[in-house]
Amino acid sequence: MLGTVVWFRQDLRLADNAALDAAGARGAPIVPVYILDDAAEQRWAAGGASRWWLHRSLAALDIDLRARGLRLILRRGGSGAELRAVLHATGANAVYWNRRYEPAARERDAALQPQLVADGFEAKSFASSLLFEPEAVRNKAGSPFQVFTPFWRHCLNLPVEPPVALAARCWTAPTRWPDSLPLAALGLEPRPRWDAGLVAAWTPGEKTATARLREFVGDAMARYTDERNLPAVDGTSALSPHLHFGEIGPRQIWAAVRALSAESGVFPASRGAQVFLSEVGWREFAHHLLTHFPEMPTAPLRAEFATFPWREDAAHLRAWQRGETGYPIVDAGMRQLWQTGWMHNRVRMIVGSFLVKHLRLSWHHGAAWFWDTLVDADLANNTMGWQWIAGCGADAAPYFRIFNPLLQGAKFDPEGNYVRRWVPELARLPAKQIHAPWEADAATLAAAGVRLGQDYPKPIVDHGEARAAALAAWQSMRQR
């Protein structure tokens, strides 16, 4: 039997990989391929932090494949042309891949599949990236869901396929391998190098993802309900970049939680497990929305927000991006993002609210910055999150609910340890003043070595005035 090309995309793993498993079941030689096709991604080609992760994830995947007698072929260019070149070079007669759900990827795949079939090749796509196919989840009226709670309640009553284990059978390598670019030729690593913080924080790859899931489910998940909102505590799974790049799949997460629950006979076994799975549900909901409303990355789902009077202020945007707003919890989050390519989810909500409400800058600015700086930058999650924060999306937080960064900091970082780590110039301030250093007296500031306006900026906006201006802008939109 002729060979099968397995086209890897956002599924950079061997376990629970439906396309790879189907290729193995054919019993034919397998040719794993990854194609960097920036042009097909249009404006949503991977940002700098994502490309950094991708470089290392591809390297890890190649190591894992070589341990099984295969190797990863790397190409750059148009997906269709490169796939055909690999098919002809190897004599393979089939291409298998796992589905993606971004609009540009869906359009490309929908056009490419019949073209390959017309050329005489077998071309199949598989479901391996989500628990539920977005087109298959509908409300009683047959329409897509736009509110999370009924969506997830509906999903919890649907069957979830068990993850596909690594095939016991031996995979067959082709008799001749096609040409492959060296990984460095893809140009994914930053020049000049700015990635020291990412290197210190992350180890991309399937092995790390699997170990992280096992560690989290076995320990931290029991405390997840209490600790997930505390940015100074390692209380979250930190699986989001591994999920985005497909180093682990949601069915593996589901199965791991179910296996733990089997001991008690109740699924989910604990409140922590229930809340954790609901976070996986939010990821499903994001892809559900993006599938049914593909214009969301550029247009608000709530059409009235198209007339919202956003400001344009380059200095304020730059201060937010650099973590120099004068609000410590906001600045800590933005500096964590810059240094590690990741930010705690609670803090993402705080910094997002500050951008769109205190500064009244468009959520598009926030989405673009996150897209370039997050290692877990995902079009569905990023779009839904920013529209949720801005009050213009599905099941969104109302715009008039404005986070007070002082109260948020005091509630979720009460001892100030998160701020001390990421805003070290404030590290010696007492917990009582660390979230509002401008309220500290001169003696306290001097004892902590803080000179406001020099060592650390004064607030770029006043909370009360910014809140009033945001509410006035919202009212003006409503009156239109």
CB within 8 A of 14, min separation 6: which ones? 20, 61, 64, 65, 68, 166, 206
- pLDDT category of residue 117 using cuts at 50, 70 and 90: very high
DSSP state of 75: E
Dihedrals phi, psi of 75, to nearest 5 degrees: -135, 160
Residue of 227, 279, 324, 425 with catalytic role:
279
pLDDT at 29 over 80: yes
Residue 180 inside a domain? The answer is no
On the question of pLDDT at 261 being above 80, the answer is no
Residue 139 falls in the annotated catalytic set: no
User: Within this chain, do residues 366 and 275 fall inside the same structural domain, yes or no?
Assistant: no
Strands 4-8 and 122-126: unpaired
Is residue 262's pLDDT more than 70? Answer: no
With left for phi above 0 and alpha for psi between -120 and 50, is residue 266 left, alpha or beta? beta
Residue 297 domain-assigned (yes or no): no
- Whether cis (ω within 30° of 0) applies to the bond prior to 457 is no
Kindly state whether residues 337 and 421 are assigned to the same domain.
yes
Write down which residue in 251, 270, 292 finishes a domain.
292
Task: Using alpha carbons, select from 263, 267, 239 the residue that is nearest to residue 253.
Answer: 239
* Domain C-terminal end among 292, 323, 339: 292
Asked, for residue 255, whether it belongs to a domain, the answer is yes
User: What are the pLDDT digits (tens) for 411-422?
Assistant: 999 999 999 999
Query: Is the domain of 280 the same as that of 345?
Result: no
CATH of residue 233: 1.25.40.80
Q: What average pLDDT does range 174-191 have in this prediction?
A: 96
Lowest mean pLDDT, pick from 33-47, 229-243, 427-441: 33-47
3-state secondary structure 94-116: EEEEECCCCHHHHHHHHHHHHHH
pLDDT, tens only, 305-348: 999 999 999 999 999 999 999 999 999 999 999 999 999 999 99
Is the pLDDT at 396 greater than 80? The verdict is no
In tens, the pLDDT along 130-158 reads 999 999 999 999 999 999 999 999 999 99
Mean pLDDT for the stretch of residues 125-132: 97
Burial 107-122 (b: 16+ CB within 10 A, else e): ebbeebbeebeeeebe
**134 and 57 part of one domain:** no
- Asked which of 112, 128, 144 is the last residue of a domain, the reply is 128
- The answer to whether residue 184 is domain-embedded is no
| Long-range contacts of the stretch 23-26 (C-beta < 8 A, 24+) | 23/94, 23/96, 24/167, 24/169, 24/171, 25/167, 26/1, 26/94
- Single out the catalytic residue among 97, 171, 342, 386: 386
d(CA 104, CA 111): 11
Coil, helix or strand at residue 147: coil
What is the number of other CB atoms lying within 10 angstroms of the CB of residue 136? 9
Nearest CA-CA partner of 31 in 57, 68, 51, 6: 6
The question of whether 371 is a catalytic residue gets the answer no
- Is residue 461 located within the same domain as residue 345? yes
Same domain, 411 and 427: yes
Domain-located, residue 60: yes
Tokens 């540009």 belong to residue: 104
Q: Are residues 278 and 416 in the same domain?
A: no
Higher-scoring residue by pLDDT: 219, 42: 219
Is the pLDDT at 259 greater than 90? The verdict is no
Same domain, 112 and 227: no
* Catalytic hit among 44, 152, 177, 282: 282
CATH code, 362:
1.10.579.10
Same domain for 281 and 319? Answer: no
> Could you tell me if residue 38 is inside a domain?
yes
pLDDT band of 240, cuts 50, 70, 90: very high
- Does one domain contain both 286 and 397? no
Mean pLDDT of 24-51: 92
Distances, alpha carbon 442 to alpha carbons 415, 427, 438, 446, 449, in Å: 21, 16, 9, 6, 10
Task: List, in order, residues 6 or more apart from 20 with CB less than 8 Å away.
Answer: 6, 14, 30, 32, 96
Choice among 310, 324, 425, 438 that is catalytic = 310
The pair of structure tokens assigned to 218 is 């076995």
Q: Which of 363, 369, 388, 474 is catalytic?
A: 363
Q: What pLDDT score was predicted for residue 269?
A: 64
Domain range for 156: 130-162+205-292
- Give the pLDDT confidence of 340-394 residue by residue, as tens digits: 999 999 999 999 999 999 999 999 999 999 999 999 999 999 999 999 999 999 8
| Catalytic residue flag (residue 279) | yes
The count of domains in the chain is 3
**Euclidean distance between CA atoms 224 and 280, whole angstroms:** 14
Geometric angle at alpha carbon 399, from 395 and 401, rounded to 5°: 100
The pLDDT value recorded for residue 120 is: 96
CA distance readout (Å), 469 to 310, 347, 389, 461, 476:
11, 23, 17, 11, 11
- Going by pLDDT thresholds of 50, 70 and 90, the confidence category of residue 266 is low
Residue 95's φ and ψ, nearest 5 degrees, are -130, 125
Catalytic residue among 93, 345, 404, 417: 345
The yes-or-no answer on residue 342 being catalytic is no
Contact 356, 390 (CB under 8 A): yes
Task: List the CATH number of the domain containing 46.
Answer: 3.40.50.620
Judge whether 345 counts as a catalytic residue.
yes
Same domain, 442 and 472: yes
Q: Residue 228 — φ and ψ, nearest 5°?
A: -65, -20
Residues 411 and 282 in one domain: no
Res 6: pLDDT? 98
Q: Would you call 152 a catalytic residue per the annotation?
A: no
User: Which has the higher per-residue pLDDT, 210 or 218?
Assistant: 210
- What pLDDT is stored for residue 416 in this prediction? 98
